[in-house]
Amino acid sequence: MRGAAQAMPDDPLTSNYDAIVVGSGATGGWAAKRLSEAGLNVALLEAGREVTSREFTEHKPQFQLKYRSFSGAGEWRKTRPIQTQCYACTEYNYDWFVNDLENPYSTPADKPFSWQRLRILGGRTLCWGRQSYRLSDLDLKAASFDGYGQDWPISYQDLAPFYDIVEDYVGISGASEGNPALPDGRFLPPMKMTCGEVHFRESMSKNFRRTVTIGRSAIITQDHNGRSACHYCGTCERGCTSYSYFSSPFTTVKDALNTGKCRLLTNAIVAQVEMDAATNRATGVTFVDGATRQTKTIRGKVVILCAQALESTRILMNSATGTHAGGLGNSSGLLGRGLMDHSTGAGASGELPQFQDAPDPYSGPHRANGIYVIRYRNTSKATKHPGFLRGYGFQGSAGAVFNQGAAGFGAAYKQAVKTGTYRISLGAFGESLARNENFVSIDPKLKDKWGIPALHISMTHGENERALHEDAAESAAEMLEAAGAKNIELRSTVAEPGMAIHELGTARMGLDRSSSVTDSYCQLHDVENVFAMDGACFVSSGCQNPTLTMMAITVRACDRLVDRFKKHEI
């Protein structure tokens, strides 16, 4: 990767780059790719180290691990008490996740927030869930439909061409359904459903007129853009030897470096944006070299924050000056406000005894994907729910699974485990309303290992989320029962904020600078050469997994930026 940067000067800090991109994950990778391919000189700063495919362990059997990733075992868990709340942080890959002791944040005692982070080249794209859904105008113009909050300053028509670009490059497998609540995209062939899922889809269509589709996933089902089709080993969160799921180090970042116009600096922990008070323009960023702990400054014409919603806002807040009290972009007083994370936790599960299939053998194909029930609440006057605003979608699956929980012992137990049980489950992802009382700020006392002031995160899910999830649990059970499920169990809890790992908002976009932080191209209203191109700019959350939209927004903003460079407006 580094070879492509040979045309750059030896000391990366001597250049004045066209653009400094902070963060190398889903959006940072796109920003670096888009800008460098357009001919701009880019510095890409990543707080973590590089990663190579030699670290991938998706094929490593569990027994080769010392503690087989059993809960509670391993010294590493002591340094990652928060990260281990994420299913993907295991004995296989914990080193990709941050050390919680070195990267602290605070919360009110009664408002826990689980902030799960990776600091490594590619960030969370190494471990992400890969579910990729478009927002619709039902989401982008939600305030006009129900009166709550603000509309986005962009419509689906504005975003659609950029969804196309991202999907064409990333490779999203999925099926078109013609459901306006979840716009279709440019899909690779869909993964297959199990018999139980096909049955459930037919039952939902017949009994409820609801759409069940295969998960739209950033896992390629045919060779695509130099990457190989999925081989169905099923453990994507440990890396992928064939690069079959989208991960920025092996796609966008690689492309950017191949241009020879992009310089990658790893272990560069950005502390703040540097400002020129005379011109009210950013001149670069200051970062701590994670290896040497030296503080360094790098100069650029524009600064693009793609560090992850809360990290980008933290950098803006830590960049406060006399002119920009409370942080860059905070003239509205809204920087840090409106934190969202999809509400999760509710759903239902049961057995489908009418299916007798045996579980797929351990070495058989495993699909790292499931089914998706498209939102059906509050999509029109006819589906308006009296108890809550907005809606939810379900992710789930049905299939035969080994039954280690079988009763008894001895030979009969061994056979029962192998015979398995045919289960179906649904889990809701609900919209998280943007409420200004959910916020982040700088903790006045707490600093990270590198001396950078840490965040204080204050968020709870509200009554709307609670009512939404109660309905989701009831509705899930009703749908399972209609499909013939037995032994149904409900979950109506709302999980702790952060558990969806979809942090959004805190630097929302808008047309009116008094009620937003950035414009529709992610540019701060207050500083014309600083951008927040990640989940921070979200105005509302929808209920769909957000990464696809973040990438589309980034491409749109970068194309606009390139155009301005060409016109010498920057």
Residue pair 385/379 in contact by the 8 Å Cβ criterion: no
- For the chain, the first-to-last Cα distance in angstroms comes to 29
Among 146, 202, 276, 489, binds another protein (CB under 8 A): 202
Among 6, 10, 61, 110, binds another protein (CB under 8 A): 61
Q: How far is the CB of 68 from another protein (least distance, A)?
A: 5
Among 3, 6, 54, 157, binds another protein (CB under 8 A): 54
**Cα three-residue angle 181-183-186, rounded to 5 degrees:** 160
Residue pair 360/400 in contact by the 8 Å Cβ criterion: yes
Picking from 207, 147, 146, the residue whose alpha carbon sits closest to that of residue 378 is 146
Q: How far is the CB of 78 from another protein (least distance, A)?
A: 11
Is the Cβ of residue 146 or residue 202 nearer to another protein in the bound state?
A: 202
Q: How far is the CB of 153 from another protein (least distance, A)?
A: 41
DSSP 490: E
Per-residue contact string for residues 64-93; x = within reach of another protein by CB under 8 A: xxxxx-x-xxxx------------------
SS3 96: helix
Is the Cβ of residue 342 or residue 367 nearer to another protein in the bound state?
A: 367
Q: Does 58 bind another protein (CB under 8 A)?
A: yes
Q: How far is the CB of 383 from another protein (least distance, A)?
A: 25
Region near another protein per CB under 8 A, out of 55-63, 373-381, 532-540, 556-564: 55-63
What's the rounded Cα separation, in Å, for the pair 537 and 505?
5
Q: Exposed, middle or buried: residue 424 (CB in 10 Å: 0-12, 13-18, 19+)?
A: buried
Q: How far is the CB of 300 from another protein (least distance, A)?
A: 33
Is the Cβ of residue 109 or residue 411 nearer to another protein in the bound state?
A: 411
Describe the chain by its helix, strand, coil percentages, rounded to 5.
Answer: 30, 20, 50
Q: Does 364 bind another protein (CB under 8 A)?
A: yes
Q: How far is the CB of 242 from another protein (least distance, A)?
A: 5
DSSP 447: E
Is the Cβ of residue 67 or residue 148 nearer to another protein in the bound state?
A: 67
Q: Does 342 bind another protein (CB under 8 A)?
A: no
Q: Does 128 bind another protein (CB under 8 A)?
A: no
SS3 161: helix
Is the Cβ of residue 111 or residue 192 nearer to another protein in the bound state?
A: 192
Residue pair 370/530 in contact by the 8 Å Cβ criterion: no
Angle between helix axes 547-566 and 156-170 (nearest 10 degrees) is 100
Q: How far is the CB of 9 from another protein (least distance, A)?
A: 29
What's the rounded Cα separation, in Å, for the pair 309 and 536?
4
Is the Cβ of residue 85 or residue 241 nearer to another protein in the bound state?
A: 241
H or E element at residue 188: strand 187-188
Residue numbers 398-427 binding another protein by CB under 8 A: 402, 404, 407-411, 413-414, 417-418
Amino acid at 555: V
Q: Does 241 bind another protein (CB under 8 A)?
A: yes
Residue pair 242/20 in contact by the 8 Å Cβ criterion: no
Residues forming the site for another protein (CB under 8 A): 53-54, 57-68, 70, 72-75, 191-195, 197-199, 202-203, 228, 231-234, 241-242, 352, 354-355, 359-367, 402, 404, 407-411, 413-414, 417-418, 483-484
